[in-house]
Amino acid sequence: MAPFLNDSEVTTTGPGNEGNERLCQIVTPVGNFGNGFVDSQVEAALESTTELSTPTAIILDSGSTDSGPSRLALGYLACPRSCYERDMNRLVNFGVKYKVPLLISSVGGDGSDEHVDEFLAIIRELAQLPENSSWNLKVIAIYAGVTPTRVTERLQSGKIIGCGKTVPELTQKEIDQVPRIVAQMGPEPFLQAMLDNPDFNIIIGGRSYDPSPYIAYAAYNALQKKPGDMYSLGKDVMGSFTHMGKIMECGGHCATPKSNGAIAHVYKNATFDLTPMDPLAKCIPRSVAAHSLYEKPRPDILHGPGGYMNLSNCTFEQLEDGRTVRVSGAVFEASRANGEKYTVKLEAARVMGFRTLFMGSFSDPILISQLDNMLDRIRAYVKMQHKDVTETWDLGFHIYGLNGEAVKASPTFVDRPYAVTQRVFVVGEAIAETQKLATSIANVARVGCVHAPYKGQKATSGNFGFGIGGKLELEVAECAEFCIYHLMSLEDGEEDGVSASCHADGIANTVDGKGLFHWTVANIGQAEPLKVAEAIGSTGTSHTNGDATTTKTKATSILPPTQAFKIPENPRFLADIASVLRSKNAGPYEITVDILFDLAEVYELVKSSGVLTAEKIAEQYKLVPGEMVWSGFFDLAQAFKATFPRKRDGKLRVSGGYLENDVHGSQQYLQLMELKLSDDLREKLVAIQRREADKLASLQQQLSTPPAVEVTVSA
């Protein structure tokens, strides 16, 4: 279904990009398929892009390890099936209406073979609906599952290493414990499937490197639908495609304020333009440059299947519309060109036990003052009640509000020593080899929370407020844990995909020396096959009706009002001067923090002040020497970044699993907010703040003063 172009047929150029030929456009409605999107924004984006004489595609990512290991270990979908049905129905109909292909990668969240089949089933079910009688779709399904046998063979031959220094060495035990293993495919299987089936309508991709379908679609058009080596396009072109995909897979996250979707215009000279789909959002150079910080261990060198992307020499140019940014300068260094093996990342998770939860609150100020001691006694009581149990078990508590700020002193609480100024919420979490034992552990612990005595106790009827949702204990079934997050070296050609008549045949034919991935093709729907319009750029949907022009779709915004960042009058802490201060997973084993500054002058002052160093970050997060993965300043985004191992209770941990309470890692920035600024830095910042305030006051005065009117009086 995806059209291609000959050089002689292309005349379209981008704004301010005269002389350079446009290659294609990509519309990404949202950063994660299944999370919903704004129909009017997607429709407006497709109307504008399909009027051009170059091809358009809808591309979305659907996967991540961010939300924990349960998808891989237990086969859960990342979103309810109904959410996938809803979004699939809308996007396929957009594809039918505008005659553009739809590509989705890492379907279901983990990209497992089972979820590829589930997405095929969803499309088949939707095609049976009366309102979808116009569907006749050629659907490619690409599978990313890897057999344990192949992984074992590579492990034994020394061709598997951890993905980063924080990842433990892989053993056969982990391979034997997991129900499925997936490999992050590069762009090669997507590209080969398109070349094999140029009349495709939809690609359902298994686990993929997030930019892979973006790279493949751009390369497909750059190669003009002809078989060829995409790396022959050059490291600058491949760098541009990869950089574009790395940003676009998150939708409008590169905009300010961040929003749902984005549009990429890709050119042949290794440049691309980015525009947010929300009309109230805009891309600016700093917001686009900052995206390479997000979820990455470092911002300048980004590794992926078959090589790495170097962003050191990127440029970000604001275009005249004030909301589009042109990007250039990335290069992709292919592993094999540098004499190294092509590697893919393997992912898998195992079940480590069964969990039961209970929850409730403590309000008595006498009890709260000695809560830690009481919880220790409850643990001992639970152990005593299960002294004859031979199975492995554990009990932990999530405590919220114990160290929080109580209600400030006021006349209302004078001479009221027993006033309730603070409540503490507790979630008890028990894990055991069986669900029955986990529930027994949780039950005894909950009873302990209700009735345990404590020094000075007055409320002898019960300590614990509970019963939320009508449940005393919540059995939450298996507890999963990541255990494979490793790089596997491939021989030449194993990064490819191969066509298979069915999934079973694809698995059978996936052997050493042949493509690791395979695809199948299905024709779904009862109507006439959906054809690409003969004329380049024609969608078959006319925007005019005789002399009357139909009203184009107006994209509606869902963004809240925003306010420009300002430095306070008396800056004391890091949070006073940083416009963005965030933390996030950088894979399951690492946390990364990003600190961005709006004003270049403030950034340079911070950079030279010594307030942000690897040593200070290590002190804040209690890291031992050598644990820091990466830290440094990133001038392109006016930012500082640090990446370090994920820890809990002083021990190295992997995201998700037992006692996890921040699986995204998005709450790990808080200790940096109160990082104190030096007196010298504060003095310089106050001078900047006053100058900026004076500028604003002067501007407001100019806007409020009516212009002088010259009056001539005649005699």
Element holding 274 (H helix, E strand):
strand 271-276
Q: Where in the sequence is the domain holding 65, given as residue range(s)?
A: 22-145+180-341+491-524
Q: Is 524 helix (H, G, I), strand (E, B) or coil?
A: strand
- Among 42-56, 412-426, 470-484, the range scoring the smallest mean pLDDT is 412-426
Residues whose CB is less than 8 angstroms from the CB of residue 387 and which lie 6 or more positions away in sequence, other chains included: none
Would you say residue 332 lies in a domain?
yes
Contact indicator for 99, 166 with CB cutoff of 8 Å: no
The reply to whether 533 falls in a domain is no
For 126-178, what is each residue's pLDDT tens digit? 999 999 999 999 999 999 999 999 999 999 999 999 999 999 999 999 999 99
For the chain, what's the residue count? 715
Q: Is the pLDDT of residue 6 over 50?
A: no
Give yes or no: residues 286 and 210 share one domain.
yes
Tokens representing residue 214 in the block: 């973006």
Q: Is residue 55 part of a domain?
A: yes
Answer whether residue 16 is part of any domain: no
| Residue 357 shares a structural domain with residue 316 | no
Q: Do residues 337 and 373 share a domain? A: no
275 contacts 283 by C-beta, under 8 angstroms: yes
> Do 98 and 46 sit in the same domain of this protein?
yes
* DSSP helix/strand/coil, 245: helix
What is the total count of domains within the chain?
A: 3
Query: For residue 227, what pLDDT band results from cuts at 50, 70 and 90?
Result: confident
Report the pLDDT value the prediction gives residue 315, as an integer from 0 to 100: 98
Output the average pLDDT for the chain. 90
Average pLDDT for residues 616-627, to the nearest whole number?
94
What is residue 7's DSSP assignment?
G
658 and 604 share one domain: yes
CB contact at 8 A, 397 and 428: yes
Q: What is residue 243's predicted lDDT score, i.e. its pLDDT?
A: 98
287-300 average pLDDT score: 95
Q: Which residues contact 557 (CB under 8 A, 6 or more apart)?
A: 278, 279, 280, 281
Q: Is the pLDDT of residue 486 over 70?
A: yes
pLDDT value of residue 581: 96
Helix intervals (H) in 353-485: 365-368, 371-385, 435-451
CATH number at residue 382: 3.30.70.1120
- The closest alpha carbon to 144, from 514, 507, 509, belongs to 507
Spatial contact of 16 and 326, defined as CB atoms under 8 Å apart: yes
- Could you give the CA distance from residue 577 to residue 563 in angstroms, rounded to a whole number? 15
Task: Give DSSP secondary structure letters for 616-660.
Answer: HHHHHTTPPTT---EEEEEGGGTEEEEEEE-EETTEE--SSSTT-
In a domain, 566, yes or no: no
Residue 703, in any domain of the structure: no
With 90 as the cut, is the pLDDT of residue 267 above it?
yes
pLDDT of residue 551: 61
Residue 694 has what pLDDT? 79
Q: Check residue 380 and give its pLDDT.
A: 98
123 occurs within a structural domain: yes
Kindly tell me if the per-residue pLDDT of 13 is higher than 60. Answer: no
Q: Do 471 and 501 share a structural domain?
A: no
Residue with the bigger pLDDT between 694 and 158: it is 158
Q: Residue 20: what pLDDT?
A: 77
Q: Are 470 and 503 contained in the same domain?
A: no
Percent of the chain with pLDDT over 90: 80
The pLDDT value recorded for residue 41 is 97
Would you place residue 488 in the very low, low, confident or very high pLDDT band (cuts 50, 70, 90)? very high
366 and 278 fall within a common domain: no
Distance set, CA 577 to CA 566, 686, 710 (Å): 8, 11, 45
- Phi first, then psi: give them for residue 182, nearest 5 degrees: -120, 155
Of the three residues 431, 463, 482, the one that is the final residue of a domain is 482
Q: What is the pLDDT of residues 534-591, one digit of tens each?
A: 333 444 443 333 333 456 788 888 777 766 778 888 899 999 999 999 999 999 999 9
The yes-or-no verdict on residue 528 having pLDDT over 90 is no
The CA distances from residue 529 to 120, 476, 676, in Å, are 18, 46, 65
Residue 359 covered by a domain: yes
> Would you state the pLDDT for residue 416?
61
Residue 533: pLDDT over 90: no
Q: In this structure, are 359 and 475 located in the same domain?
A: yes
Question: Range with the lowest mean pLDDT among 5-19, 31-45, 66-80, 584-598?
Answer: 5-19
Q: 268 and 204, same structural domain?
A: yes
Same domain, 477 and 374: yes
Cis peptide leading into 299, omega within 30 of 0?
Answer: no
Indicate whether 417 pLDDT > 80: no
Residue 3 confidence class, pLDDT cut points 50, 70, 90? very low
**What's the pLDDT at 521?**
98
Same domain, residue pair 590 and 662: yes
